[in-house]
Amino acid sequence: MPHRSRAKAVAVSSPLPHSQPPKKRDILEDEARFLRSWFERPLVTGAVTPSGRMLARTMASYVDPRLTGPVIELGPGTGPVTDALVRRGIAQERLVLVEYNPDFCKLLRRRFPKATVLQGDAYDIRATLAGIVDEPACATISSLPLFTKPLEQRLDLLGAVHDLMHPDAPFVQFTYAVVPPIPAKSTTYTASRSNKVWLNLPPARVWVYRRP
C-alpha cells in the first residue's frame, strides 16, 4: 500500500473497528450534508441520503478481509460503507477512498485518518489512481450514481477497475433501480445480485461483477 503521505490525511482520531454505531446527531448531520450536496450537484451526488447501515453491511459482506491488496471505494460520501468495511475487518490502511466532493473528502480524512483519501474523478480511475495503487486490489466498492452516465462510460469504468484488481475480485455496486446498473449478460464478466435490501430507504439492491 502507498505511504500515508499520499493520502494527505489529517491524523485526528481513528475509529476502532468495533466502535459504537454513529450517534443520531452524526447521522442527521450526514443526511443534511448529502441533501445540500444533492441540491448543489444532483448528477454528481446521485442520492439524497447516505446509504443505510443494512445496505452498507450488504456491500461490505462481499469483501474478504483475508485476501491481500487494497480495497478501493468509489464515491464513499460521508463514509457509511467505509465504516462497514472497517467493521468487516478491513484495516484503514488498506482503504483507498476516491471522492469528488471536497467537503466529503475533509470529513473522510477526519473519520478515517489512516485511509488514503483522494479527491478525484472515479470515472477516470486510471489517472486518479496512477502511482497510488501499486498492487492488485482485492475489491472495489462503488456508490456512484452510474445511471447518470452513458452505458459506454459505465462499461469503461468496470473494465478499468477490473484491470486494477485480482482476477475474480468483486466490483460491488448498489442501485435503487429494478434493472442492473451495468448489463448482467456479458462475455467478459459475470454478474450476480443480492436480495433487495428492504430496510434501506429507498429499498436497494447490490450487484457484483467479476472478471475471471
Q: Which of 83, 135, 138 is nearest to 107 (CA)?
A: 83
Say if 136 falls within a structural domain: yes
Please indicate, yes or no, if residue 172 is contained in any of the structural domains: yes
| Domain tally, the chain | 1
Whole-model pTM: value is 0.78
Average pLDDT score, the chain: 84
CATH number at residue 173: 3.40.50.150
Number of Cβ atoms within 10 Å of the Cβ of 212:
8
Host domain of residue 68? 64-211
Among 12-16, 19-23, 126-130, 196-200, the range of highest mean pLDDT: 126-130
Q: What is the pLDDT of residue 1?
A: 47
Residue 41 falls inside a structural domain = no
Residue 96 lies in a domain: yes
pLDDT in tens, 42-67: 444 444 445 688 999 999 999 999 99
More confident call, 7 vs 147: 147
CA angle 53, 86, 72 (to 5 degrees): 95
Name the residue among 148, 207, 160, 153 with its Cα closest to residue 188.
160
Cell of 128: 486518479
Q: Is residue 2 domain-resident?
A: no
Q: pLDDT band at residue 152, thresholds of 50, 70 and 90?
A: very high
Does 30 fall in a domain?
Answer: no
Residue with cell 475533509: 106
Residue 81 lies in a domain: yes
Does residue 74 fall inside a structural domain? yes
Instruction: Report the percentage of the chain scoring pLDDT > 70.
Output: 76
Q: What is the DSSP string of 56-70?
A: HHHHHTT--TTS-S-
> Which DSSP helix (H) or strand (E) runs through 125?
helix 125-128
Cβ atoms 82, 22 nearer than 8 A: no
